[in-house]
Amino acid sequence: MLSSGCVTVYQPLVSLQRPVVVDPRIANFEGQRMLVRCIPGDYLEPGDADQLCRNVRSLFTKQGAQVEVEVPRAGMSARGEQDGPKADLIIDLRARLVHEESSALMGVVSGLTLTLVPSISEFTFAQDVTIRDSSGFQLASDTLQGRFIRYNGIGVWAVNSALDLLVRSDEEELTGDAPKKDFSRDFHRQLSQLAFNAHMRSWVMRGFEEPPRGQESLPSK
């Protein structure tokens, strides 16, 4: 019980902290066809890649898009060229570990104090995003980085649980799944903005041959 208390702090780093214009709660991609590919790697197991794809599919489906997902195995695409209509946007997602650190000394001190002094570990990860059109032309790309710092100890957990219950608002909580919700909010906003930018760039490159689908969902001034 003493070692189970954990407080996680989420810190948005590269790109995740940028302001966005697109609101993920409205139909920004009405009628758009998307293919989302979550590529497994050293940091992203196939099962986690599948969960990521389902999450992103839900994000864009709520914004009016028709979304297919794919988790390629061994770097090979499972979707043939003739498998249904071509996607307007192809979104490739790759995750990698940038940095990981934990203090052995703090772990010893934490054990000697029965976790009243917490042990501390942290890791920084990157989500590489590439968006292309149906012909393979790259429309947008970015790297989103975030850091998670974990404090393991009954003392820090008890204090922060009490503060969450009595003082902090829901947006300021540090215990439970609050850090996960904060990251998901930032990730969804940035990914939606990237996809919308790619969609608009594709429309401009076509010479404005048709009005951009979902334009009616843009917020008015």
Q: Where would I find the H helices in 68-220? A: 104-112, 154-166, 178-205
How far out from the chain centre does Cα 3 lie? 29
Matching residue, tokens 């307007």? 88
Instruction: Identify whether the C-beta of residue 89 lies closer than 8 Å to the C-beta of residue 104.
Output: no
C-alpha distances in Å from residue 35, one per residue of 60, 90, 169, 192, 193: 10, 5, 38, 14, 17
The pLDDT value recorded for residue 69 is 96
Q: Where would I find the H helices in 122-177? A: 154-166
By three-state DSSP, how is residue 197 classified?
A: helix
CA gap 205, 59 in Å, rounded = 26
Percent of the chain residues past pLDDT 90, beyond the cut: 51
Identity of the highest mean pLDDT range in 28-32, 59-63, 157-161, 164-168 = 59-63
pLDDT digits (tens, 9 = 90+) for 69-111: 999 976 455 554 455 568 999 999 999 999 988 877 777 766 7
Q: Which CATH number fits domain 6-15+24-214: 1.10.10, 3.40.720, 1.10.405, 3.30.160?
A: 3.30.160
pLDDT digits (tens, 9 = 90+) for 187-203: 999 999 999 999 999 98
pLDDT band at 219 (very low <50, low <70, confident <90, very high): very low
Mean pLDDT, the chain, rounded, equals: 82
C-alpha distances in Å from residue 114, one per residue of 101, 119, 154, 202: 22, 11, 8, 58
